[in-house]
Structure formats: structure tokens, C-alpha cells
Structure 1
Amino acid sequence: MDVVTVGPEEIRSAVSMPAAIDAVREGFLALRRGEFEMPTRTALRDGAFLVMSTHHRPTASAMIKTLSLNFTDRVPAIVGTVVWSELGHGRHLVADAAEVTRLRTGAIVGVATDLLAPAEARTCTLIGAGGQAADQVRAVHAVRPLAELKVVDHSLDRADALAKALGAELRIDTVLAVADADEAVHGVDIVCCATTSTTPLFSPTSLTANAHVNAIGAFRPTMRELPDELLAEATVVIDEREAILEEAGEIIHALKTGAITEDDLVELGDALAEGTGERAGRTVFKSVGVAMQDWAIASLLAQTFLDQAK
């Protein structure tokens, strides 16, 4: 058996954000067509260890990702491996899971933002300046070129450093670090939430009438970034129903309080199939992450690195 190992720098050099967005978009349409066998991920030690797997029937390829997560005592917080294999040959690809996770989580935000955010959107607030944060902005910028970025974090110094770094990298004209989330989301077109919060981050009254909100931080039932009031009045698009109902704290909470019903939730694959169109009012995209996203990035890596290894 031949094993090709791919590290973070190689992943970044091989897969651009636009390519990642395209791959994840096509992956969700394929998921809708039933091309994937994808069990709900296994969470151990209350989400400290995660195992995700999927099989793509048309290509007879499979991906397994294992992660350990520690957001309080360790840097990096996310550590693990992505393993790609195919029935047609014995070569395996092993990639750094933290980098794949950052890239695919950003990519799905790019897909959702491109679908749901107003075409003229140019301003964004990012809440959270941790490991997943930068790729949220890179992905948004890829589909809605930004003129202004605000970053909120419990550490204003960390928010300022990230805002300046992204401003220089993406050539965003105005970048600001802001201490208060409600102040930061006021008047902006797009809000990205990437935190481990257990309580809502802002009041919906602070949002513009047509704001688009991405929420990718909460991945356990005890976590929650968005208020019930926002979910009740917005168009809510989710990555995958089964995963969301088991893991997304804000969705679970809103269902329990009666703020929303399951019928209010639209899967991303269905929304993509319906097309863009004009959506009145606020939109929300909620993701806990599914294995198909990792498969989509791993497939691009396999095309590059396994082909080279032939």
C-alpha cells in the first residue's frame, strides 16, 4: 500500500478558496441526488473526539476524518487526519485534518453566502477570531468582494490582529476591531459567527432588514450562537437535516421553544437546486459540518497528489 501524506502548506498550495467553494457546491448537489453514503458523525467525550466518514458511490471513493478538539488548553485546538482511499487502486492519501476542516468550513460559507446574500453585499462582520475565522472571510470575499470588515472577539488585540492581516491579504479598504457584537453587526450586509458560545451573540434588532448570517461555530446541543427570534423570522438554510437536528444547539433550542418547526428548515442541496432568486428579508445559514465537505476537499487533493504518485 502506498501512502501519500499532505501537510497544511501543501493543502493550501493545491486548493484555492474558489476551487474549494466549487467542489463543496457540487458535493451538496451530489448529496441531494443520493450519491453519498454518509453516516451521522460519531462524537465521543461530548464532542472532544469526532469521527466522520462518507462513501461516494459513483467514484467508489471514501473519506474518513478523525479529530480531537480542545478549545481551552491547546493550540492548535483541532488536530487530526483525513484519509482518502479508492477501490480502484491501493494508494491512500493522508492529509492534515485541521487544514482541511478550515478550508471546507470556509468553502461552505462561500457557497451559502453566494446563494443567500444580497448581490450588492460588500460589508461583513466576523464574530470570533479563532482557528476557523479567517477562512470565513476569505470565502465571503471570494463571492462578495468586501469593502469593509469588522472583527469581534473577547480579545480585542486578537480581533485587531486578524482584521489587519485579512485586510492586507484580501485588500479590504476598511478593517476594524470592535468590542461589542451588537454594535459590530449594525448596518452590515453579512455576519459570520465562528465561536464556541453557549448563548446568542447578538440581538436580531441590531441587524439590517436583508442581512445574511452564517453560523458555523456551535456543533454540539449545548452550544448556541443565534437567538430564537432571528431564526423565527428568517429564511433558515441548513447543511444536512439529520446532523443539524442532532448537533446544532440553536436549532434544537428554537425547535423546543416552538420558535420554528422542522418544516422551516431548508437543506442547502435543495436551496441550490432551486437557484438563487430574490429572497426578501433576513437569511440564516447554519452548519455543523458533514463528511461530504471533507470528501470534496480530499478529492481535489487526491487529483493532485495521488496522480503525481502514479
Structure 2
Amino acid sequence: MKTITVGEREIREAVTMSEAIEAVRRGFVDLADGQFEMPTRTALRDGQFLVMSAHHRSTATAMFKTLSLNFERKPAIAGTVTWSETGRLDNLIADAGAVTALRTGAAVGVATDLLAPPEAGRLTLIGAGGQAPDQVRAVHAVRPLRQLTVVDADPRRAQSLIQALEPELTDVELATATDTASALRTAEIVCCATNATSPLFPESALPAQVHVNAIGAYRPTMRELPDELLAGSTVVIDELDAILEESGEIIHALQAGAITKDALTELGTALTAPTADYGKRTVFKTVGVAMQDWAIARLLADKLLP
């Protein structure tokens, strides 16, 4: 038996964002098709410790992730992703922080490719933390950017992100901002990647046509989006059971009567009907599900295990 351990550098070298997006896209379709055994994740100490698992029935493969989360440290996520197959003794253990950032970005890439207008190229990113770079990379992979504006309460952190991404974003107009409303005024795509507990902006700050990705709020006490935006948009989610248990903005909107469960469409289901008319405002809300980690772990296993 052989166990291969891979860190962030090895993960980044092995898997491109485009590969991650395609793997996660296939995973969402399989999820909708009932191919996964996937319990809702276990959250301990109000989400500071998370345990996730997914079993892909047709390949008899499984992924197990355990992590701790602390926004006061860098990196915020520490833990491991373990890959197992019933047909082989070899295992793979990967850094959970890198896998989480890559798979969360990939899900946003899948949703943006489905829901954003084909010509969309102006992205406003709210939040410049650890998840932010892969949000930009994923959107850029499916909608080549003309303009990127990073909004963060700390201008230095926003500027550091811009500088880090600049070599990857040639011919893209890059800017930072501290005023969210002004940064949203001309946005065609918005990514929210914060640990906010109340909405980041009013619905009126958004253009009439826009696609919004919200990845930051993963507990019932957290919210990034206002009820009014959810009520007036086509809302696509990663997985219904996870969203109803963990998404603060969806839970709040349901309790307020702003939306109903019937208004929520799982991404895997939406991918099977790509010609649907989604309207002028679309929202993708994700809390992250284990299938996404499985998809990245499978890519790593295919590339690195003997």
C-alpha cells in the first residue's frame, strides 16, 4: 500500500482551473443523477470544525475531508482531503485549504458559464481573502475579463490581491474600491467571498442585468445577499439539503416569505436544461458540498497515483 501526500504547490501544478471546472461540472450532473452518497457535512463549534464525505457509486470511490476554519489566521483553512478506491490499496492525502479554494472557484466557474451573459466581462469581487484568487480565476476561465474591481474594507489587502493576480490578467483593467455601491454600478458579474453576517449591499445597488455568485456564508448566522435580490432573481444553488441547513441568506429569505423552496434550482438540474430562460438577474448560492472535493481529489488521484 502506498499513500501520496500533496501540498498546495503540487495541487496547483497538477490541476488547472479549466480542468477543475470541467470535473466539478460533471460532478454536479452526477449528483443530480443520484450517483453520490453524500451526507450533509458535520459542523462542530459553529462551523469551526467541518467533516465532509462523498461516495461515487458507479466508480466505488470516496473522499473524506476534515478541516478547521479560523478567519483570524493565515491560511484560514487547515486540514486534509483523503481519496480512497475500493479497487486499489493506494491512497492520496491532499491539503484541504488548496482543494477547497480550487473546488469553490470551480463551482463558481460552472455556474457563471451557465448563468452569466455570454458577453459579460466586468467582474466586481467583494472580499480579498483566501478564497478570492480562485473566484477571479474561475470567472476569467469562462468569461474572459475586461475589468476587475476588488472591494475590501482593507485597501492594502485589495491591492495585494490585484498585484498577485496581475500576471494572470494581462489586458484586464484592474482597480480596487472601498465603496461597494459604486463598484457594483457597472458590474456584469459579482462574486461575494466574505464572512459577513448581514447583506453586503442593497438590491438597488445592482444593475438591471447581472449574475451574482455568493460563496462566503456557510452557516445560518451568516448572510451576504439581501432578501430583495433573491426574490427578484433566478436562484440556483449547489444542493438543496445543504442549503436549507447552512445558507443564512436562503434561510432568512424563506422565513421572511421572500422566496419559496420551489424557487430554488439545483445546479446539476439546471445544467441538464442549459437553454432555459433565466431572466436578467441570476444568483448562484453555494455553501460547498463534498462532491466538489471528490471531483478535485479524483483529478489528483488520476494524475498522481501509480
TM-score tier by shorter-chain length is: over 0.9
Alignment TM-score, normalising by the size of structure 1: 0.97
Does 2:83 align with 1:84? yes
Q: Which residue of 1 aligns with 2:54?
A: 54
Does 2:263 align with 1:264? yes
Q: Which residue of 1 aligns with 2:126?
A: 127
Between stretches 159-168 and 108-117, larger displacement belongs to 159-168
Between the aligned partners of 2:234 and 2:213, the Cα distance in structure 1 is 12
Secondary structure class of the residue paired with 1:274: coil
8 Å Cα contact 1:129-1:162 kept in structure 2: yes
Q: Which amino acid is the alignment partner of residue 35 of structure 2? A: E
Identity among equivalent pairs (%) = 65
8 Å Cα contact 1:66-1:82 kept in structure 2: yes
Q: Which residue of 1 aligns with 2:29?
A: 29
Q: Which amino acid is the alignment partner of residue 184 of structure 2? A: V
Q: Which amino acid is the alignment partner of residue 101 of structure 1? A: T
Q: What's the CA shift for 1:171?
A: 1.3
Q: What's the CA shift for 1:61?
A: 0.5
Secondary structure class of the residue paired with 1:66: strand
Secondary structure class of the residue paired with 1:218: coil
Between the aligned partners of 2:113 and 2:275, the Cα distance in structure 1 is 8
User: How many matched pairs?
Assistant: 306
Deviations 1:90-112 (A, max 9, x none): 11100001000000000000000
Q: What's the CA shift for 1:204?
A: 1.4
Q: What's the CA shift for 1:229?
A: 0.4
Q: Which residue of 1 aligns with 2:164?
A: 165
Q: Which runs of 4+ in 1 moved over 4 A?
A: none
Q: Which amino acid is the alignment partner of residue 250 of structure 1? A: E
Secondary structure class of the residue paired with 2:272: helix
Alignment of 1:62-211 (within 5 A): 62-72=62-72, 74-211=73-210
Secondary structure class of the residue paired with 1:259: coil
Which stretches in structure 1 are left out of the alignment for 5+ residues? Answer: none
Superposition RMSD on alpha carbons, in Å?
A: 0.9
Between the aligned partners of 1:198 and 1:180, the Cα distance in structure 2 is 18
Between the aligned partners of 1:260 and 1:166, the Cα distance in structure 2 is 37
Q: What's the CA shift for 1:85?
A: 0.5
Secondary structure class of the residue paired with 2:13: helix
Does 2:18 align with 1:18? yes
Q: What's the CA shift for 1:165?
A: 2.5
Q: What's the CA shift for 1:170?
A: 2.0
Q: Which residue of 2 aligns with 1:302?
A: 301
Q: Which residue of 2 aligns with 1:41?
A: 41
Q: What's the CA shift for 1:276?
A: 4.0
Q: What's the CA shift for 1:183?
A: 1.1
Secondary structure class of the residue paired with 2:244: helix
Alignment TM-score, normalising by the size of structure 2: 0.98
Q: What's the CA shift for 1:163?
A: 1.9
Q: Which residue of 1 aligns with 2:235?
A: 236
Which stretches in structure 2 are left out of the alignment for 5+ residues? Answer: none
8 Å Cα contact 1:167-1:174 kept in structure 2: no
8 Å Cα contact 2:36-2:54 kept in structure 1: yes
Secondary structure class of the residue paired with 1:58: coil
Secondary structure class of the residue paired with 1:217: coil
8 Å Cα contact 2:233-2:279 kept in structure 1: no
Secondary structure class of the residue paired with 2:84: strand
8 Å Cα contact 2:126-2:152 kept in structure 1: yes
Q: What's the CA shift for 1:186?
A: 0.9
Q: Which amino acid is the alignment partner of residue 36 of structure 2? A: F
8 Å Cα contact 2:35-2:57 kept in structure 1: yes
8 Å Cα contact 1:116-1:276 kept in structure 2: no
8 Å Cα contact 2:37-2:57 kept in structure 1: yes
